[in-house]
């Protein structure tokens, strides 16, 4: 599988999202190349970064009463449950799961996060403000 790298087409037009998502994409790619003895620490860092990104997104969804909040939050929860369910020391399994994060992340950006970005932009415009996340 090719390592995912950030591409301009993945940007959502909201700097807060784009910067965080680019950093996550890079972190996921780096994790794939991390030596076994440092893999678990790298995975823990990735999980922490995902948790923070998901918290920010979910707070923004709540702030605008986003209609797809529940399904978007469920997608986040499923990924985190899988990652938290990894058995310490099973690096091969961890690598397998990390490999699945890559395509999920790209699909999530293209679908759920794109819809959220549009809703946030519309919410900002309806209030006569520019969304400056």
Q: How many whole angstroms separate alpha carbon 110 and alpha carbon 82?
A: 21
Q: How many whole angstroms separate alpha carbon 69 and alpha carbon 83?
A: 21
Q: How many whole angstroms separate alpha carbon 122 and alpha carbon 17?
A: 16
pTM: 0.84
Q: Where are the domains of the chain?
A: 13-124
CATH (residue range 13-124):
1.20.120.50
* C-alpha distances in Å from residue 21, one per residue of 79, 89, 106, 109, 127: 15, 28, 10, 8, 26
Show pLDDT as tens, one digit a residue, over the chain (133 residues).
344 577 777 778 888 888 888 898 899 889 989 999 999 999 999 999 999 999 999 999 999 999 999 999 999 999 999 999 999 999 999 999 998 988 898 899 889 999 999 999 898 865 544 444 4
């Amino acid at each position: 599988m090719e390592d995912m790298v950030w591409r301009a087409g993945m940007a959502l037009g909201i700097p807060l999202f784009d910067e965080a998502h680019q950093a996550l994409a890079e972190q996921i790619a780096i994790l794939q190349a991390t030596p076994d003895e440092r893999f678990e620490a790298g995975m823990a860092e990735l999980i922490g970064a995902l948790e923070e990104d998901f918290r920010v997104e979910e707070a923004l969804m709540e702030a605008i009463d986003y209609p797809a909040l529940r399904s978007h939050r469920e997608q986040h929860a499923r990924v985190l449950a899988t990652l938290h369910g990894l058995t310490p020391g099973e690096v091969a399994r961890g690598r397998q799961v990390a490999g699945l994060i890559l395509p999920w992340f790209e699909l999530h950006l293209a679908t759920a996060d794109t819809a959220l970005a549009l809703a946030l932009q519309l919410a900002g415009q309806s209030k006569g403000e520019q969304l400056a996340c």
